[in-house]
Structure 1
């Protein structure tokens, strides 16, 4: 299978964890009392099985589901929490848009629960909170004419198309629906990459962003320290030109082997507490005690969420080239598309909206050196903020139980300043 070919280290870890679970279950089978006590902890959590609107409803929050159609025909689900259940005042304007990271979905902003999930936190302080998705994840797996299961053309995209088509379509939908002339943007990882791609490659969209808060921005990835990311993205950078079928081009999808096995293993409370953090550490660095056990049991129900081999491989190209440049199609097609053998750089100077950058010093996926480089390329950086926790890593930004104390105040500071109540 394609996941096995590209993700041997991850699959090996999952296999080991599965063997541990089987052994544990076999032993527990001999002890009826222990099995009964364990029954609740070894079932899937309600949150892990919930979609976005179900998840918010689990905690008494009202949310809406909207549908956005991009210029090139992709159908994306967009979610909104118009007001948090703990919001006691009027709704703040303009709206806030959250955009998720690579292999994630809108659910990633909820997985840490009401006490730490950023979508919950923002809604509770009265922001009109919108949460986007991009083509290729399970909320973006539809098209007006293409079938993702049978049409390879559906998967012929990378992050440039997400930035040129998906993000502008989402922004325009929100502005039209709310009657606002602009919005406030919070992106994580790939979500930031889409913002700067949009600014570089389209016109008239930068003016629609009142403030852009970029958390762990995956723009240039020259210094990535994650071995698994280097191996997997490098693999797909090499093989994506020869992949043909939809089954080959859709990678790390929800319902695929890695997501299914991870969710099955990590539904067990003890394994989620003791062993499953190692799965996250394979992807990122290790930050003990940061992500709650219940969050780990939940997040693997939604992660990985799927993408295209080309989108995944594009990061591998960036690691190799050490630049933030357009997709490398090879000499012949590069000459046709770009008029040059080498892909051109994205123009970061066109990102003139006010920008805040947030990063962690222990982030193995988006290295602080790349964030500091980015801050020097952009024309309107308000602050480059290092999270105070020394072990703060990439995935902590979505999943840490400490987010309310460590990152939310900085995000809220700038949203308040640039909102109508600021």
Structure 2
């Protein structure tokens, strides 16, 4: 079957190329290092090996292989964390001066880009033991493992490398949930973080109003059954087979509309501030996902809770000592936390953030983005994200670095 699909895709690819020959942005084929350098910024790449053997790429926007702490005095290193199915490439789509890492770098900050397990990296090996193309065991992880292994490994490396005591965390979508899972399971990392900023994220998702997510979540047990029947650990592993076709389709002026529609599905609505020409670069980094990542999200939407991965009663009993997965203790997050919400993001609802905040002791900011049509993906792809999101995020990180003390937000909540 896979051979048949590959053959069909190959002929579609050749026919489309012969007849259309669309212009392809050179950035489509660039590595992350090439993209950053092409935007005029210096970059270093480091290999991180987690406690459970995953090989990660950690990117540092800096000229210095051995940073001078005095150069960044009074400024926390900033770690940018992508969401589920994302990659560090997402953060540089907007280009020089406007993209998030450059915005912080231009203001004197030490900027790092996180790349979770399962993301395209700069090193050929992905694990000390497993091959991600050949070994299903590679894909046996959910957001839990990213939270307790990947994030801590990168934070520790940054602190050792820079001789600093704390980092600032900025994360999009599921990255915010990974922050709270880390603080719950590894509370010692509270002492290593100045502020945790969550964009388009809430640990509680009771009121999500996105029909596709709700439908998939309702059918999560069916998906898990199919997964077990087919023996799949990677979610839709044939995705990579379609890369050549998608590369051409998103370059073509007509087919590009389909690519934009796909980002609309992910973002819950069509963006009105995403530049059509950017879709080539966005689509050139197709995600590879663990099935358990998807199911972990679906389970939590379905149950309106923030729990560990649900293996089913039998394995839950063996793994957790109880029939149902335990809840993460979001109250363990003691660091200053902030939430950013888009008005047209149907996945995240303000009331869910409010409910979570009643249990998070040190939430210092809930920022509803004033633009009425700001979607789930506009944080990283929207052309006005620099002013709407990056500037207030920078101001918060800067103020905390400067010793400004914010009072925690407590109910009753008042919001304009």
| TM-based fold match above 0.5 | yes
Preserved contact between residue 271 and residue 374 of structure 2 (Cα < 8 Å): no
Partner deviation per Cα, 1:395-420 (whole Å, 9 max, x = no partner): 00110011111111110111111225
What is the distance in 1 between the residues matched to 2:42 and 2:199? 26
SS in 2 for 1:67: strand
Q: Write the deviation string for residues 177-225 of structure 1: whole angstroms up to 9, x where unpaired.
A: 1110111110111111111000001131111001111111152233333
- The answer to whether 1:301 aligns with 2:284 is yes
Match among 268, 274, 282 for residue 265 of structure 2: 282
Work out whether 1:63 is the aligned partner of 2:46: no
The alignment partner of 1:393 has SS state of coil
Greater mean alpha carbon deviation, residues 349-358 or residues 210-219:
210-219
Relative to the length of structure 2, the TM-score reads 0.85
1:147 paired to 2:127 = no
* Residues 1:359 and 2:341 are matched in the alignment: yes
Matches within 5 A, 1:277-356: 277-303=260-286, 305-356=287-338
Pick the aligned partner of 1:82 from 52, 62, 74: 62
Structure 1, unaligned runs of 5 or more: 3-14, 30-34
1:225 maps to 2:209:
yes
SS in 1 for 2:28: coil
Mapped to 1, the partners of 2:50 and 2:174 lie a distance apart of 18
The separation in 1 between residues aligned to 2:100 and 2:27, in whole angstroms, is 16
Q: Alpha carbon RMSD of aligned pairs, Å?
A: 3.0
- Report whether the alignment pairs 1:397 with 2:379: yes
The answer to whether residue 92 in structure 2 is matched with residue 110 in structure 1 is yes
For residue 245 of structure 1, report the CA deviation from its aligned partner.
10
- Where does residue 6 of structure 1 map in the other structure? none
Cα 1:310–1:361 shift into 2, 3 Å? same
Cα shift at 1:117: 1.8
TM-fit CA distance, 1:22: 11
1:254·1:260 contact (CA, 8 Å) conserved in 2?
A: no
CA distance in 2, matches of 1:51, 1:325: 36
> 8 Å contact 1:106–1:131 — kept in the other structure?
yes
| Conservation of the 8 A alpha-carbon contact between 2:17 and 2:248 | no
Cα deviation digits, residues 135-172 of structure 1 (max 9, x gap):
11222971111122222221111111111111100100
Q: Partner of 1:122 in structure 2?
A: 104
| Map of 2:191 onto structure 1 | 207
Counterpart check, 1:47 vs 2:52: no
* Deviations, residues 231-275 of structure 1 (Å, cap 9, x unaligned): 556666533466469983222569624655433311224543x55
The number of equivalent residue pairs is 389
2:411 maps to what in 1? none
- 1:24 is displaced (CA, Å) by 9.3
Structure 1 residues 161-170 or 325-334, which shifts more?
325-334
Query: Aligned residue for 1:32?
Result: none
Give the secondary structure class of the aligned counterpart of 1:382: strand
1:380 positional shift: 0.2
What secondary structure is seen at the aligned counterpart in 2 of 1:199?
helix
- Unmatched runs of 5 consecutive residues or more in structure 2: 3-8, 65-69, 405-416
Query: Offset at 1:285?
Result: 3.2
Tell me by how many angstroms 1:368 deviates. Answer: 2.8
CA distance in 1, matches of 2:232, 2:163: 42
Aligned counterparts of 1:178 and 1:126: Cα–Cα separation in 2: 14
What is the CA deviation profile of residues 103-128 of structure 1, one whole-angstrom value per residue up to 9, with x for unaligned ones? 00111101122243211211121211
In structure 1, the residue matched to 2:393 is: 411
Aligned to 1:5: none
Helix, strand or coil at the partner of 2:187: coil
